[in-house]
Amino acid sequence: MRSIYIAAQETSSLENHLSELEVDSHVKSVLFLMAYEDHLPNELLSPLLAHIKKPLIGGVFPELIFEGERKNSGVLLLPLSFELKTQVFDLSGNSEDYFNQLERVQVDSMNPSSSLFVFADALSQSKGMFIETLFNFFGINPTYIGGGAGSLRFEPFPCIISNQGMHENAAVIGWGNKKITLGVAHGWYAISEGLKVTEANKNQLESINWKPAFEVYKEIVEAHSGMRFNSENFYDIAKSYPLGIEKIDAESVVRDPFMVTNNTIHFIDSISEGEYVKVLHGDIASLLEGASKAKELAKSKLKEGMDCETSFCIDCISRVLFMKETYKKELEAVAPNKKVSGVLTIGEIANAGESFLEIYNKTIVLGIW
């Protein structure tokens, strides 16, 4: 996998690279990944994208990864040797709308050796419904890989990219007749018994075991950590204590708490009533073990002809916020040769093995093709 990094605002260089990719016969499609800081607005980006007619998808993310290094600005281009069948979706629709759009374009996209890139606006209220519809349409046929676009400001803006430019409250997919091998892991471990979600509204957890959610969570976390919550330190403590949604024979799906109001805990992504969750905990060592596990899982499924020396990384920006300067050890764990590029996302999209398609938090996803 070849990757090209262009520093922020070097529009002439970006234009030249896009023009070169357009005439390169080995390049069939392009992933266009841009960091939020100093990102190009649509009025500047759209004319540049006119230089390439090949299928192009991507988004704006908190940060990029280029050859084993974090980049908080600039553009990352990943040329693909296989063609993507792309679609952009307005996420103000409903499940029936998305399914009908998929039927019109992707009706022949059912090869079990295929893959689907998915980038979605992390702030969209319909993101979960859209992901569920994708799985209802494609099933376990493709390997899914992608993530949530946006910024740590958590303010809406056009963050999804296609050949037509930038889109707000949207998602973009690219189906390719090419197998990608995946490793999905996180390194968080349970410190509580299973707890039943008894009241929830999308990303707001209201009650656990029929008690106010924060009261239950607070008791468990304070007992384990020896710290005490106050009006200002919720995230400082909670970033080490996410919740894990229990899955049968699969990695638990992590949910990242970021705020509490009136005993209701707010998460980056949704939690459903009736699910069983556990309070998780982790440290630098356990997260690095998770990264190494993702690498081993991806490499264990390699097929002939895959580029085993390089990998595409979808990693959660909250892992960076947790690990801080030691995050570089995570990139070293997945690729000691620094041959890894990708994005730091707000939610990771993947299916581990033949399991249901999920939106993860605080998780690392590695893809090799």
Domain span at residue 266 reads 189-281
pLDDT digits (tens, 9 = 90+) for 294-325: 999 999 989 888 998 899 999 999 999 999 99
pLDDT given at position 247: 84
What are φ and ψ of residue 72, in 5° steps? -95, 5
Same domain, 223 and 142: no
pLDDT digits (tens, 9 = 90+) for 83-119: 999 999 999 999 999 999 999 999 999 898 999 999 9
pLDDT given at position 314: 98
pLDDT digits (tens, 9 = 90+) for 218-271: 999 999 999 999 999 999 999 999 999 988 767 789 999 999 999 999 999 999
Same domain, 259 and 335: no
- Max Cα–Cα distance, the chain, nearest Å: 62
Domain end point (choices 239, 260, 281): 281
Neighbours of 167 (CB within 10 A): 21
Task: Tell how strand 311-316 and strand 276-281 pair up.
Answer: unpaired
- Token pair for 144: 């899914």
Q: What is the mean pLDDT of residues 205-220?
A: 98
Same domain, 253 and 337: no
Of all residues in the chain, the percent with pLDDT exceeding 90 is 92
pLDDT above 80: residue 352: no
Same domain, 273 and 167: no
Token pair 């792309």 is found at 86
For residue 332, the SS3 value is helix
d(CA 198, CA 213): 9
Same domain, 168 and 228: no
Same domain, 118 and 264: no
pLDDT given at position 353: 61
Average pLDDT score, the chain = 95
Same domain, 53 and 79: yes
Same domain, 118 and 201: no
Tell me the HSE value of 337 on the side-chain side, using a 13 A CA sphere.
6
pLDDT given at position 221: 98
Same domain, 296 and 220: no
Q: What is the mean pLDDT of residues 139-161?
A: 96
**Confidence band of 354 (pLDDT split at 50, 70, 90):** low
Domain end point (choices 221, 254, 281): 281
pLDDT above 90: residue 196: yes
pLDDT given at position 28: 98
pLDDT given at position 43: 96
pLDDT given at position 6: 98
Task: Tell how strand 276-281 and strand 195-201 pair up.
Answer: antiparallel
Of all residues in the chain, the percent with pLDDT exceeding 70 is 99
Same domain, 18 and 148: yes
Domain count, the chain: 2
pLDDT given at position 292: 97
pLDDT given at position 304: 87
pLDDT given at position 303: 87
Same domain, 266 and 210: yes
pLDDT given at position 211: 98
> Exposure of 98 by Cβ count < 10 A (0-12 exposed, 13-18 middle, 19+ buried)?
buried
Same domain, 200 and 147: no
Domain end point (choices 253, 281, 309): 281
